[in-house]
Amino acid sequence: MRLAALIALIPTIAAAQVAQGDRNASFEPAFENQTRAPALDATPVTVAPFAEGLANPWGIAELPDRTFLVTERPGRLRRVAADGTLSGPIDGVPQVDARQQGGLLDVAIAPDFAQSGVIFLTYAKGVPGGTVTAAARAVLQGMTLTDVRDIFVQGPPSDTYAHYGSRIVPTADGKVFITTGEHFTQANRQLAQDLDTTYGKVIRLNADGSVPQDNPFAGQDADESIWSYGHRNVQGATLGPDGQLWTMEHGPAGGDELNQPQPGANYGWPVISYGVNYNGSPIGSGQAVMEGMEQPVYYWDPVIAPGGMGFYDGSYAPWQGDLLIAGLNPGSLTRLRLQNSRVVGEERLLQDVGRVRDVEVLDNGDLLVLIDADPGQILRVTPGR
């Protein structure tokens, strides 16, 4: 989570950091090697500026013509040319609520974008009674969005402008996954366990916003859009090489989680956690394991404060199939080696560039990395030299 935006709500960060350092002996991993996997060999990388002058860039998506769309959290969507030149703002973007952690968030293109021109955005939307996470579908025509309409609006409204999530991941079968947060407060976080709300959930919809008939809660006394629940603040999501969804969510003080959300599964927040509250008090039950609640694939303590993520499928063979995760605090790019959906190695890169918000893997094997600042920038990272 973005601590700087919540200083007024978190007066005891320093005490929490001390408590976090003292708690490792009492919380054991549920599985061997679940966390703190062996360090991978360090990778030489070349880092160079690609685009500059952005205000809190949040999400990036590559277009078929090898240009890019990038969101700026204050509410602008821009094109970035192959040489890094920034366009002016694209017209037609939905009005956003840019207070605290809110604003224009993720961007993704439909699998058939070359024919349809369809893109997806997630954003903080002001509504009567407060603010929510929303997802919109639009058609990109040059420098204008047309046919802009929401396909998802979180409920109920919140008066806390934090923990929106939010990533959107289109799939080849015409569905979209949308991740949400639970708006941070003690009262709001309980709604992550409530199947009548979309707080702290992974949502699965058809690309037009309708509910797929094979969703796990379809036809039940629940919000039928829910895919999985018991999440805190899911700010990373991507499809693996096998087409399965992977997510990253912020823990509190400790307990950032890598998950592979399964339909209908409960991931425990705020009943169980590998973290603690910012004042050092226990979360929920005070336990990290409970029957009927899923364990993360991997977790971090201390945290990396995750952003976007992606699997590497480029020309640098030593990274092939590895998972790359943006990190905001203390700022890094984390590389994970996976075997049979388990983490067997970890490397921390780019620990001196600031808050890494998102990562995009290019066909030539390079990476584009968003630095969340104002002014912010996009870096080009070339592994292996």
Catalytic residues: 163
Cis amide bond preceding 375, omega within 30 = yes
Task: Measure the CA–CA gap between 257 and 301, rounded to whole angstroms.
Answer: 10
Residue 163 buriedness (CB in 10 A; 0-12 / 13-18 / 19+): buried
Q: What is the CA radius of gyration of the chain?
A: 19
The tokens describing 40, both together, are 């991978």
Does residue 242 contact residue 258 with C-beta atoms inside 8 Å?
Answer: no
What φ, ψ does residue 379 adopt, rounded to 5°? -105, 145
Residue with tokens 């968003």: 370
